[in-house]
Amino acid sequence: MTDAYIVEAVRTAGGRRNGALAGWHPADMGGEVLNALIDRSGIDPAAVEDVVLGCVTQAGEQGFAFARNAVLSSCLPVSVPAVTVDRQCGSSQQAVQFAAQAVLSGTQDVVIAAGAESMTRVPMFSNISYHERDGVGVGPFSKRIQGRFGVETFSQFEGAEMLAAKYGFDRDALDRYALESHRRAAAATEAGVFEGQIVPLAVDDGLHLRDEGIRYDATLEGIGSVRLLKEGGVVSAANASQICDGASAALIVSGQALKDHGMKPIARIVQMTVSAGDPIIMLEEPIAATRKALAKAGLTLADIDLYEVNEAFASVPLAWRKALDADPDKLNVNGGAIALGHPLGATGAKLMTTLIHSLRARGKRYGLQAVCEGGGIANVTIVEAL
């Protein structure tokens, strides 16, 4: 069995809803990150054997074989196939894992894992809400599912509230975490930490090079003034991830491909895990998935130099950190989705890009990435920076 290596990993800077990237068709955003991988790696585009691309809201401009449309918008030849993956918030992390599995199995030698999502042009849940509006169908949860779990629907917002209550976090704790996310992201941006990983996109006033959602003047008072999503709850829009437009991609290859194409890797895939648990609390599964991944890798959390745990809601990384007794100084060191945005299907490969670049910049070895996903699923990937 061969190893699976990452040669390049890139992302766009995040765009706020109706912000800088609102004019970009999502297939074109996807095409741009594919182009960047080819340009930076120097590989022959025809050598790419498949593109696995994550996208959550597969409707409208993100419908009709969306991954294939991203390829058709790129410099890749029409001979390159593509497939779209929906693992909810971990879609492009699953794309990374599927690509690595193809390489590890010996089935393919050069695969691109990517993700793209325009939450401006294809609003979250629009693949459900538009059907509801027109009276088409009864929604994704059948009577059988509702009867089994005793609920009419599964809500990530309710899950975030349940997670905060279970692990003992009040609103102040969530708001303080959110403030730290903005402060870390602002400091990283000002220090140029993200510059090498960002693919510039042309916008009306030049090039989009900075994550648009960072609040450089964020204060605890300001965050605390935002209305709660639920009366008597602790979750607000300010301590949850930001709606975001963006794309990301990683080039994953075998050892033989490194030799054949004269490329140098930046990371190696060490371990890949996906697990599932309670679909009602939903957002707790990264804890169990992390334990499983570490055990399979023969590592402990102390062996891991940096963690990227998606900030879908502040309660997610806080619960993960508390349950695993994780070092807060290793967690989301450059901020997370609360400040940088969560472009759904693009987030997995986006976090992987940031994690690998952060490890290399700090001279560190192992990184762990965990993402909570709709339905109570979680992906965990461990990488070694090279």
Q: Spell out where the chain has E strands.
A: 4-12, 15-16, 50-54, 82-85, 110-118, 198-199, 201-203, 206-208, 244-254, 267-276, 306-309, 366-373, 377-385
Quick one: 9 exposed, middle or buried, by C-beta within 10 A (0-12, 13-18, 19+)? Answer: buried
> Can you give the pLDDT at residue 311?
98
Check 55, 244, 357, 372 and give the catalytic one.
Answer: 372
Q: Is 55 noted as a catalytic residue in this protein? A: no
Q: Model-level pTM?
A: 0.97
> Can you give the pLDDT at residue 54?
98
Which of the residues in the chain have pLDDT under 70? 1
Sign of CA dihedral 50, 337, 180, 303: negative
Check 89, 182, 208, 244 and give the catalytic one.
Answer: 89
Bridge partners for 271 per DSSP: 382
Check 182, 208, 244, 342 and give the catalytic one.
Answer: 342
Structure tokens at 199: 């693919």
Q: How far apart are CA 309 and CA 116, in angstroms?
A: 19
> Can you give the pLDDT at residue 373?
98
Q: Is 372 noted as a catalytic residue in this protein? A: yes
Short-list 187, 188, 200, CA closest to 40: 200
> Can you give the pLDDT at residue 2?
80
The 10 Å Cβ neighbour count of residue 302 is 11
> Can you give the pLDDT at residue 33?
98
Residues 234-288: pLDDT tens digits?
Answer: 999 999 999 999 999 999 999 999 999 999 999 999 999 999 999 999 999 999 9
Q: What's the number of CA atoms in the CB half-sphere (13 Å) around residue 256? A: 10
Residues 6+ apart with CB under 8 A from 144: none
Q: Is 89 noted as a catalytic residue in this protein? A: yes
